[in-house]
Amino acid sequence: MTPFQATEDLYQSLFGGSVHLPAELLIAAVEERVTLRERSRVEAHLAACTRCRDDLQALRHFAERQPSAPTPELVITALPDPATPPELTLTEEPERTTPVLRLAETAELGTSPAPASSLRHQAKAAPRRLAWVPLAFLALNALGLGAVYRLTSSRSTPAPTPPRAATPAPRTDAAPAPELARFQAAYELQLAQERGKVAQLEKQVQALRLAPKPTLPPKPVPPIRITATPLPLPVLLPPRPSRKSTTGLGVVAEPVLAPKSLTLASLSVHPQLHWAPVPRASSYSAVLTDSVGKPITTTELRKPEWRVAAALKRGETYRWSVVPRDRAKKPLGEPQLGELTITPEETVGRISEQLKALATALDSVGLTSEAAQLREQEELLQKK
């Protein structure tokens, strides 16, 4: 920063006035030898100062009229000879409307060779026109120094500060304000509720992880109603030959009499059950239950058929289930379910036929009384 720029800044800060731009800065602006910061300073000043704007236009006009700079020899020859007296016939050039500063730095601008009379006149007039420039510069420097001295003296003697108002002592207790306490309590309550919800969810997840996997119930199979062919249990055994022979044939029949309390309810059947075979099944676990689910008999079978050994009564319903198993006794698929009902009509018909056949057999061997008893039982069955 040049001394003139520093003085200009100080003057503007103190008095708020405007200082004109120096000639060297205007010449540099015409020749475009200024920096970006100086260019912005010049443009900002020219926007508010008419005099400097006119000086800049005059310098540009002068540079356009004289594009080349004069040689030193031409300038020396144009200056007046100190040995010769001044010419009294020279006439004063009329004053120009442009400021004096436009001719102050003519030697620094690029000018072309001009006539000797014009250059001589400019060389004589320049000292008289620029005589006030050093005085103005010294005055500005004096003003700047005075302003700086006043600033430093004012800073060295600080102004009395007004007494400060007594500030209350800070609160020693850490109790928060009522609003802050309520907000903090509400926040802690909400935080505790959220933590409780998270803990409850974690417990539920842990319980689900530890709980055994639910087993799907077996698919309901529609009951298969089977009317089994009743095979009545023989109530009489065929006669067996005896070694003690009293007849001519040497054989004495020893009949086994039927019980006297033979009724329809005491007669039983043994049905034959069949089901669809299962691939890769080496055995079948069969279970037979009554109508209330009480097991009657269980067995292991190799084939998909079962002749029930237990005695089944007429008119009752039974349920059976078969589970196919592999060689490791592991179940294969779902169990097969079914129902079994012995109808009374078929039971009576089959038993009647069996009784008639036994009576005929007894008659053939001479046991007429036993055959008569069987025929009476057969008649009772038909009546009931």
User: What confidence category does residue 105 fall into, taking pLDDT thresholds of 50, 70 and 90?
Assistant: very low
The predicted pLDDT at position 172 comes to 52
Could you tell me which residue, 39 or 136, shows the higher pLDDT? Answer: 39
The predicted pLDDT at position 130 comes to 52
User: What confidence category does residue 363 fall into, taking pLDDT thresholds of 50, 70 and 90?
Assistant: confident
Please write the tens of the pLDDT for every residue from 152-173.
665 555 555 655 555 555 555 5
Using DSSP, state whether 248 is helix, strand or coil. coil
Residue pair 381/348 in contact by the 8 Å Cβ criterion: yes
CA distances for 265 relative to 85, 262, 316, 344, angstroms? 179, 8, 11, 10
Nearest to residue 376, comparing CAs of 266, 265, 268, 263?
A: 263
Class of 225-240+260-383 per CATH? Answer: mainly beta
The predicted pLDDT at position 90 comes to 46
The predicted pLDDT at position 218 comes to 65
Beta bridge partners of 268: 313
Q: Where are the beta strands (DSSP E) in the chain?
A: 225-226, 268-269, 272-274, 283-289, 295-301, 305-307, 312-313, 317-325, 336-341
Burial of residue 342, with CB atoms counted within 10 A of its CB: 0-12 exposed, 13-18 middle, 19 or more buried? buried
The predicted model scores a pTM of: 0.25
- Per DSSP, helices labelled H in 163-242 are 178-210
pLDDT over 70 percentage in the chain: 48
Domain ranges of the chain: 3-149, 225-240+260-383
3-state secondary structure 252-293: CCECCCCCCCCCCCCCEECCEEECCCCCCCCEEEEEEECCCC
Calculate mean pLDDT across residues 321-335.
87
Rounded distance, CA 372 to CA 384, Å?
Answer: 19
Nearest to residue 227, comparing CAs of 347, 382, 381?
A: 347
Q: Give the CA dihedral 354, 355, 358, 364, nearest 10 degrees.
A: -130
Residue pair 144/4 in contact by the 8 Å Cβ criterion: no
Rounded distance, CA 108 to CA 70, Å?
Answer: 10
Please write the tens of the pLDDT for every residue from 184-220.
888 898 899 999 999 988 888 888 888 777 676 666 6
Could you tell me which residue, 10 or 261, shows the higher pLDDT? Answer: 10
The predicted pLDDT at position 237 comes to 40
Count CB-CB contacts under 10 A for residue 79: 12
Q: What is the average pLDDT score of the chain?
A: 66
Beta 336-341 vs 283-289: how paired, if at all?
unpaired
**Segment of 208-217, 229-238, 354-363 carrying the highest mean pLDDT:** 354-363
Residue pair 350/320 in contact by the 8 Å Cβ criterion: no
Q: Would you say residue 35 has pLDDT above 70?
A: yes
